[in-house]
């Protein structure tokens, strides 16, 4: 992860909006724990970035931790 050298605060929050099987719109909030960049080399180079996040489900019944 790259940050500007003079900054002292990093915002690592993420938000994901999706629709479930009943067409209900859901929003999940989380914090990035780690960023992993994978590279495959060969006749052409492929790259993939993975974000390891700790997700929170802000439902009226309370915060639920979902382990992925």
Confidence at 11, pLDDT banded by 50, 70, 90: confident
Mean pLDDT of 5-20: 78
Task: Decide: 56 and 28 in contact? Cβ < 8 Å.
Answer: yes
pLDDT tens figures, 21-55: 999 888 888 889 899 999 999 898 999 999 999 88
Does residue 36 lie within any of the structural domains? yes
pLDDT at 63 over 60: no
Considering the domain boundaries, does residue 30 fall inside one? Answer: yes
**How many whole angstroms separate alpha carbon 55 and alpha carbon 68?**
9
Residue 67 belongs to some domain of the structure: no
Dihedral in degrees, nearest 10, Cα atoms 25, 66, 33, 24: 0
Whether 24 is in a domain gets the answer yes
Q: Indicate whether 66 belongs to any domain.
A: no
Query: Range of 55's domain?
Result: 13-60
Indicate whether 2 pLDDT > 60: no
Give the global pTM: 0.55
> How confident is the model at residue 57, as a pLDDT?
67
Tally of structural domains, the chain: 1
């Amino acid at each position: 992860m790259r940050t500007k050298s003079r900054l002292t605060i990093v915002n690592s929050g993420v938000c994901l909006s999706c629709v479930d099987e009943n067409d209900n719109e859901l929003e999940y909030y989380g914090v990035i724990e780690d960023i992993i960049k994978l590279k495959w080399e060969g006749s052409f180079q492929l790259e993939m970035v993975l974000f390891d996040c700790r997700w929170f489900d802000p439902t009226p019944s309370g915060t639920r931790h979902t382990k992925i």
